[in-house]
């Protein structure tokens, strides 16, 4: 009798626990976009832990860069959980969440250029502000264009101009000069990887704006799959480059002491 009740209890409890598990149940084996959302959520979480743990293995001046890297993957990871949920329940592009994610992570990523230079050389504060302000202008004009607050073509053009201003800073502007003249070799290497990610990897997003929104050239599934893979490179590889030079410079500093 007792045994039977126990069994019943377990059965009821497991029955109760099913609805709480349904959060993960709606992922379908034949939905590569949904799976990519999920996979990247987890990779972002793992990367966050990795970058946070690395804070203790780099020198003091490099800690801020590592913490910001962890914030980038943390913020992206949280957004990916929500974006996956929207995708699997509605089949629609989670555009608002993408933009909110970009609005937080893109300025943080651009600030990293300033931070890795500031950790090893003297660099003027306006470099920081230029990177920050241009990134906000780029994203805001894209958002206003995509939501029809302003002419979508105007949004695209202003956004691309702001992106070009960022590229100018990184290839020819003060940031580029400080990097070439004062930064150690490992920082120069990482800076180079990062600036090419901003050039080539980031080109995916305005292309997505054009072909996913302006001319309706590709469907939501393809667009989101491409965005997801792009984010993987543009956030994880980008932050790993920061981690690589932070660790390397910290090691040489340690040896020279």
Ligand X SMILES: *C/C=C(C)/C=C/C=C(C)/C=C/C1=C(C)CCCC1(C)C
Task: Give the binding site for ligand X (CB under 6 A).
Answer: 102, 105-106, 138-139, 142, 156, 159-160, 163, 202, 205-206, 209, 231, 234-235
CA distance 74 to 68: 10
Of 195 and 235, which CB lies nearer to ligand X in the complex structure? Answer: 235
DSSP state of 28: -
CA distance 184 to 96: 40
Q: How far is the CB of 155 from ligand X (least distance, A)?
A: 6
Q: Spell 143-156 as b/e; 16+ CB within 10 A means b.
A: bbbbeeeeebeebb
Of 72 and 249, which CB lies nearer to ligand X in the complex structure? Answer: 72
Q: How far is the CB of 120 from ligand X (least distance, A)?
A: 24
Q: 173: which 2 tokens?
A: 């502007």
Of 84 and 235, which CB lies nearer to ligand X in the complex structure? Answer: 235
Of 66 and 156, which CB lies nearer to ligand X in the complex structure? Answer: 156
Handedness of CA 131, 137, 140, 142 (dihedral sign): negative
| Torsion of Cα atoms, 12 then 15 then 17 then 18, to 10° | 180
């Amino acid at each position: 009798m007792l045994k039977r009740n126990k069994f019943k209890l377990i059965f009821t409890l497991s029955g109760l626990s099913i609805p709480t598990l349904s959060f993960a149940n709606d992922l379908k084996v034949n939905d590569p976009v949904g799976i990519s959302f999920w996979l990247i959520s987890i990779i972002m979480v793992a990367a966050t832990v990795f970058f946070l743990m690395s804070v203790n293995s780099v020198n003091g001046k490099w800690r801020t860069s590592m913490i910001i890297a962890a914030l980038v993957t943390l913020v992206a990871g949280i957004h990916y959980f929500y974006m996956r949920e929207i995708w699997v329940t509605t089949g629609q592009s989670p555009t608002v969440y993408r933009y909110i994610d970009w609005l937080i992570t893109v300025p943080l990523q651009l600030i990293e250029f300033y931070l890795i230079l500031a950790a090893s050389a003297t660099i003027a504060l306006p470099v920081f502000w230029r990177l920050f302000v241009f990134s906000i202008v780029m994203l805001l004009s894209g958002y206003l264009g995509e939501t029809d607050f302003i002419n979508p073509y105007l949004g695209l053009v202003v956004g691309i101009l702001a992106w070009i201003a960022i590229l100018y800073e990184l290839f020819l502007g003060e940031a580029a000069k400080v990097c070439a003249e004062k930064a150690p070799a490992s920082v120069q290497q990482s800076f180079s990887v990062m600036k090419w990610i901003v050039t080539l990897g980031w080109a995916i997003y305005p292309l997505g704006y054009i072909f996913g929104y302006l001319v309706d050239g590709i469907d939501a599934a393809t667009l989101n799959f491409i965005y997801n893979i792009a984010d993987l490179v543009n956030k994880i590889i980008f932050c790993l480059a920061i981690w690589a030079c932070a660790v390397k410079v910290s090691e040489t500093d340690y040896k020279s002491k």
